[in-house]
Structure 1
Amino acid sequence: MKEKITREEVRHVADLARLDLNPDEEVQMTQQLNAILDYMEKLNEVDTSQVEPTTHAVERANVFREDVVGPSLQRDSALANAPQTDGVHFVVPKVI
């Protein structure tokens, strides 16, 4: 099995990610990344020509409720607990 990722590449990526890997960790990371790529190669061998593409692993229906107009709060009730109002709107500090 030919290495797809070299130890130098692992060292370079670790440096970019600001990871301090010791030599044993570099070897282990190289082996693990190559094992992942080997597995991906095996998956590429599977015939998926008859499999329909999906966007989710599990079929889902719309879970939203109907948008129904209902009664609103009266303005006086909505403004009742506000720290400051002008009688029509909430008054808040200007933020820019």
Structure 2
Amino acid sequence: MPEMIDEKQVREVAELARLELTEDEVQQFAAQLSDILEYIEKLGELDTESVEPLAHSLLVKNVFREDAPGETLNREAALKNAPHSDGEHFCVPKVLE
């Protein structure tokens, strides 16, 4: 049996995520997350020995376009909607001393 998610854990995660939850939501999420863990536990009981690993459930191939050079923006168009620029470059806040 999987470990159940209790209301204390839901409150801790909500605080870390800066979420304000009502008591009803805390109870609801604790129950839903516990149900998810229970379902995952059931999936773990399946015999998957003969199932090949796969990256996608559908047969797909590379759908990316060819990487070819194309038309580029001129400097004026690129900086047009920038919140801050010096006319030649984007100006951003300093992040390192």
Q: Shift in Å at residue 3 of structure 1?
A: 5.0
What is the DSSP-based 3-state SS (H/G/I as helix, E as strand, rest coil) of the residue aligned with 2:25?
helix
Which residue of 79, 89, 93 corresponds with 1:95?
89
Residue in 2 that maps onto 1:45: 45
Residue in 2 that maps onto 1:54: 54
Deviations 1:14-71 (A, max 9, x none): 111111111111111100000011001111111001000011111123446789xxxx
Residue in 2 that maps onto 1:32: 32
> Which of structures 1 and 2 has the larger relative contact order (alpha carbons within 8 angstroms, sep 6+)?
2
5+ residue gaps, structure 1, are: 68-77, 83-92
Root-mean-square deviation over aligned CA pairs: 2.9
User: Kindly tell me: are residues 45 and 2 of structure 1, through their superposed partners in 2, closer, same or farther at Cα, counting changes over 3 Å?
Assistant: closer
Residue in 2 that maps onto 1:4: 4
User: Kindly tell me: are residues 62 and 28 of structure 1, through their superposed partners in 2, closer, same or farther at Cα, counting changes over 3 Å?
Assistant: closer
User: Number of residues paired by the alignment?
Assistant: 74
Please tell me whether Structure 1 or Structure 2 has the larger radius of gyration of its CA atoms.
Answer: 1
In structure 2, what residue type is equivalent to 1:31? A
Question: What's the % identity of the aligned pairs?
Answer: 49
> With structure 2 as the length reference, what TM-score do the two structures score?
0.61
What is the DSSP-based 3-state SS (H/G/I as helix, E as strand, rest coil) of the residue aligned with 1:61?
coil
Alpha-carbon separation, structure 1, partners of 2:65 and 2:50: 35
In structure 2, what residue type is equivalent to 1:95? H
Alpha-carbon separation, structure 1, partners of 2:27 and 2:41: 21
5+ residue gaps, structure 2, are: 75-86, 91-97
User: Kindly tell me: are residues 52 and 27 of structure 1, through their superposed partners in 2, closer, same or farther at Cα, counting changes over 3 Å?
Assistant: same
> With structure 1 as the length reference, what TM-score do the two structures score?
0.62
